[in-house]
A and B are shown apart, each in its own frame.
Chain A
Amino acid sequence: MIRDDSFIPYILNSAFIAGTATIFSLWLHSMAGFALARMRFPGRETTFIVIISTLLVSFSVILVPLLLIVKAMGLLDSYAGVILPSIFGAFGIFWLRQFYLGIPKELEDACPVDGCGWVRVRWHVAVPLSRPVLAAVAVLFFVATWNAYLWPVAPGDPQQPGQMDGAALGFANLQGRFSGRGTRSWPAPC
């Protein structure tokens, strides 16, 4: 299978997409989770509730509008178009916020005494402490992005499928290998 079919590009695609999305998710969501858990600013509760409420929406509901937005940004048929929307989600923010809530406040109170600001509190206190939870979230994100099936197809070019397909799609394509590649049909995004 590895020899006669172009399966390696699929795996490389998946690794690249899932890896990039995971790294960016961890980076952005740990920042947001830390801010929501440990810092006081106007509108914190409202922001958190809005973020949590997006958990309720299933992906297939927002698929078509999301495609339109990605198209309006000119990101169709590019890795950025696949990766950017899969970074953002409420789950990681929620999970990391819950973790940061559990860090003893004394640890961060000690920092301003030593004369360091919020950025350094985050980098030298919060991030090292949260390594285990970051690892857990990283695994979840990576598996989710690796297994993603519907979204990576959508922003691709329907004229030449398979350019950015990941391993999941590659495997599905194997099913129809002898009946031709054109089994996937997607309408052009309007």
Chain B
Amino acid sequence: MIPTSTADRNGRRIGTAVSSAHRRRHTRRARYRPREAFAAWLLLGPDAVGLPLFLIAPMLLTVAFAFFNVGGFGQYSFAGLSNVRRIAPDPPFWNSAMASTVYAVAFTVLEFAIGFGLTLLAKDAFRGLTIVRTVLFAPYVVSLVVIGVLWKFLLTENTGLAAALPRPFGLQNVSWLGDPRYALGTLVFTSIWVYSGYRMVMFVAGLLDIPDEYYEAAEPDGTTPARPLSCGPVDGTDAAPATCVRVSGSPSRSSPSSRCCGRSSARSAPPPTSSSSPSRDGSPWTTSSR
């Protein structure tokens, strides 16, 4: 509790339920200055009008419309739960709900994993790094309509480029979009193609935020190939958007303790000295990172 409150007072970024509850208690004890509150609501004003009008009201209206029969030309008649009763046994509804769920889960997990993998590839400096990053990020910049047209073109049955992919393996043309078995996977794949570069940039920004001292502190502890990812880099990716799963919620970011391990970054790592830790010298990770 104590470290959280100091982090709060120092203005550090905090996002856990504990700290917000703490702050609420803190503010309740403090008296509000009327002028400050007035100024705050003035600053909030436009958004305090616009958000309810254009986001919250439509949300509530959506819920309300669920209980009405709406004719095409403005007749509304209260229908009670009959809409729900109609949709409950409807197979296409459940089918689409299932497809949405599968798509959302597969896309989130794979995009996160692939984006993070690309991050590790494109983090340390090497020749052509800028080109690699640019190429990976490029799909995100392209307009979604263009991407849609492009992929539709690539995935066309019989004539498309992607349809011909299985041909050298003696298989028939695959209809990537037309076959119900493959359509959802194709959509997930194209979505990942679009967004993983964007996720990579988010992660790279987060990783570059980690001070090099962490890596240097971790080095004498013997960084193993498997461990550097377990807490070091993930901890620093606070800058990644909230839609990403926060892997680590611990406030260990502010304390470069020795239990936090990391790989030595190519930018400022000192050359390895054989005296610090004999086990590390044989590690393939350490040699490959230099």
Of the listed residues A62, A101, A105, the one surrounded by the most CB atoms of chain B closer than 10 A to its CB is A62
- List the A side residues contacting B37 at CB < 8 Å: 39-42
Q: Is B126 an interface residue (CB 8 A)?
A: no
**Interchain nearest-CB distance for A4 vs B (Å):** 19
Q: Closest A-chain residue to B152, C-beta based? A: A175
Q: Is B144 an interface residue (CB 8 A)?
A: yes
Q: How far is the CA of A87 from the CA of B146 in the complex (A)?
A: 24
Q: Is B30 an interface residue (CB 8 A)?
A: yes
Contact status of A171 and B145, CB under 8 A, knowing A39-B36, A187-B72, A190-B70? yes
| Neighbour of A105 across the interface among B10, B43, B145, CB < 8 A | B10
Contact of A39 with B141 in the complex, beta carbons under 8 Å: no
Q: Give the number of chain A interface residues (Cβ < 8 Å).
A: 58
Q: Is B55 an interface residue (CB 8 A)?
A: yes
Contact of A84 with B54 in the complex, beta carbons under 8 Å: yes
**Interchain nearest-CB distance for B72 vs A (Å):** 6
Q: Closest B-chain residue to A88, C-beta based? A: B50
Query: For residues 113 through 158 of chain B, which have their beta carbon under 8 Å from a beta carbon of chain A?
Result: 140-141, 143-146, 149
Q: How far is the CA of A187 from the CA of B37 in the complex (A)?
A: 45
Q: Closest A-chain residue to B71, C-beta based? A: A190
Query: For residues 76 through 117 of chain A, which have their beta carbon under 8 Å from a beta carbon of chain B?
Result: 84-85, 87-91, 93-95, 98, 101-105, 117
- List the B side residues contacting A88 at CB < 8 Å: 47, 50-51, 53-55
Contact status of A118 and B10, CB under 8 A, knowing A28-B50, A44-B27, A50-B56? no
Q: Give the number of chain B interface residues (Cβ < 8 Å).
A: 51
Q: How far is the CA of A1 from the CA of B97 in the complex (A)?
A: 41
Main secondary structure of the interface of A (DSSP, over half): helix
Q: Is A163 an interface residue (CB 8 A)?
A: no
Name the segment of B11-19, B183-191, B212-220 touching the other chain: B11-19
Q: Closest B-chain residue to A101, C-beta based? A: B13
- List the B side residues contacting A103 at CB < 8 Å: 11
Q: Is B81 an interface residue (CB 8 A)?
A: no
| Neighbour of A147 across the interface among B62, B73, B143, CB < 8 A | B143
**Interchain nearest-CB distance for B261 vs A (Å):** 25
Q: Is B46 an interface residue (CB 8 A)?
A: yes
Give 14 pairs: A residue, B residue, CB < 8 Å, sorted on A.
A39-B37, A40-B27, A62-B58, A65-B61, A66-B54, A69-B57, A104-B11, A118-B36, A118-B39, A119-B39, A149-B144, A149-B145, A167-B143, A172-B145
7 shortest interchain CB distances as A-B pairs: A65-B61, A62-B58, A41-B37, A65-B58, A35-B43, A39-B40, A88-B50
Sample of 14 further A-B pairs with CB below 8 A, known A31-B43, A87-B50, A88-B47: A40-B27, A40-B37, A44-B40, A62-B59, A65-B62, A88-B54, A88-B55, A90-B51, A101-B14, A102-B11, A105-B10, A118-B40, A147-B143, A171-B145
